[in-house]
């Protein structure tokens, strides 16, 4: 299926050249204008059998004593970012107890509590926006606290923001991190005239997908208020991203699949356990 996959890649995955890195002086200046929001309120129903009772998956202890939320916070902290807002819901107490005000990690943390019913990432962000926790004069990085990056060569937050600011000059107000290859659950088939010619189990296909993080310019907040109805369950991918793409205001940065892991099911949880010290 090599040729067919190449056609898919040419159709769906034409990325721009790597954006120039911000100078150290520019990066230090920009750092003061960025806040990191981590949605962390989901119940993770597909992980009920593997996470410890009384924990959100992001606060559950890993084999080496680390947690998903601390791993993610450190990635941004080590790049120089200091201001964090955690959007908590399911087992919120376990996250608040672990992170506190952020002082043990050398950062500042505030919490926004989701309502009892699920509101999705968009709904949780809208709640934090309405409560005044999000500063609408600053850039906003959202990072799904249950998904991680690892082994990236360099500073991913700095590269990500540099990429966004480069394309902001061309009209972009939001940049998504994307992995270039999507995993198909089950089998992929090549069918010709009714006959199956080839079967590949769980193939990766060259169709990019949004992974974990997005950086937004202050101009995005008007779209949040327009599209995120308070109290309703809303996801970025269903409302915000299509609207921005239609107006040519959404850009993408590529992060190779080998550097990211979404932790949404038991198989991915097992991968995480092995990465963080569990014996195979």
37: CATH: 3.90.550.10
How far apart CA 15 and CA 139 sit, in angstroms, is 23
Number of domains in the chain: 1
**Residue 43 — very low, low, confident or very high, per pLDDT cuts 50/70/90?**
low
DSSP summary character for residue 193: T
Sign of the C-alpha dihedral computed for residues 237, 135, 126 and 156 taken in this order: positive
Check: CB of residue 163 under 8 Å from CB of residue 85: no
How far apart CA 229 and CA 100 sit, in angstroms, is 30
Percent of the chain with pLDDT over 90: 57
Residue 143 lies in a domain: yes
The length of the chain, given as a count of residues: 280
Instruction: Give tens-digit pLDDT for 229-270.
Output: 998 999 999 999 999 999 999 999 999 989 988 887 777 888
Q: Among the listed ranges 52-61, 245-254, 271-280, which one has the minimum average pLDDT value?
A: 271-280
Residue 13 lies in a domain: no
Check: CB of residue 173 under 8 Å from CB of residue 140: no
Residue 200 lies in a domain: no
Check: CB of residue 44 under 8 Å from CB of residue 56: yes
Residue 53 lies in a domain: yes
Residue 6 lies in a domain: no
pLDDT score of 44 more than 80: no
Q: Which pLDDT score is estimated for 27?
A: 97
How far apart CA 37 and CA 57 sit, in angstroms, is 17
The dihedral over CA atoms of 201, 46, 43, 203, expressed in degrees to the nearest 10, equals: 0
How far apart CA 213 and CA 228 sit, in angstroms, is 18
Residue 199 lies in a domain: no
Residue 194 lies in a domain: no
Residue 8 lies in a domain: no
∠ Cα 85 60 73 (to 5°): 35
* Neighbouring residues of 228: CB distance < 8 A, sequence distance ≥ 6: 122, 123, 125, 126, 129, 234, 239, 240
How far apart CA 180 and CA 158 sit, in angstroms, is 20
How far apart CA 40 and CA 88 sit, in angstroms, is 5
Q: Which pLDDT score is estimated for 204?
A: 79
**Residue 105: domain span:** 32-176+210-273
Q: Which pLDDT score is estimated for 279?
A: 42
19 compared with 241, residue with greater pLDDT: 241
Q: Which pLDDT score is estimated for 280?
A: 35
**Strand 182-183 versus strand 187-192 pairing type:** unpaired
Return the CA Rg of the chain.
Answer: 19
């Amino acid at each position: 299926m090599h040729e067919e996959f190449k056609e898919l890649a040419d159709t769906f995955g034409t990325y721009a050249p790597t954006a120039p890195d911000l100078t150290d002086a520019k990066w230090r200046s920009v750092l003061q204008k960025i806040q990191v929001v981590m949605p962390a309120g989901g119940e993770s129903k597909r992980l009920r059998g593997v996470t410890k009772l009384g924990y959100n998956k992001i606060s559950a202890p890993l084999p080496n004593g680390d947690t998903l939320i601390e791993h993610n916070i450190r990635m941004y902290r080590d790049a120089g970012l200091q201001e964090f807002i955690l959007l908590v819901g399911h087992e919120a107490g376990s996250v608040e107890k672990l992170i506190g005000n952020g002082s043990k990690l050398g950062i500042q943390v505030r919490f926004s509590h989701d309502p009892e019913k699920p509101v999705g990432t968009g709904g949780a962000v809208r709640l934090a926006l309405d409560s005044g926790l999000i500063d609408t004069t600053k850039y906003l990085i959202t990072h799904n606290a249950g998904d991680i990056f690892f082994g990236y060569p360099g500073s991913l937050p700095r590269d990500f923001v540099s990429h966004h600011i480069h394309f902001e000059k061309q009209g972009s107000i939001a940049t998504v991190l994307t992995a270039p290859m999507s995993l198909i659950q089950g089998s992929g088939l090549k069918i010709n005239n009714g006959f199956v010619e080839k079967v590949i189990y769980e193939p990766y296909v060259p169709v990019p997908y949004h992974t974990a993080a997005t950086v937004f310019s202050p101009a995005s907040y008007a779209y949040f208020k327009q599209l995120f109805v308070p109290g309703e369950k809303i996801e970025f991918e269903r409302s915000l991203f299509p609207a921005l793409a239609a107006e040519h205001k959404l850009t993408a940065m590529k992060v190779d699949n080998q550097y990211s892991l979404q932790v949404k099911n038991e198989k991915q949880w097992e991968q995480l356990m092995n990465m963080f010290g569990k014996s195979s």
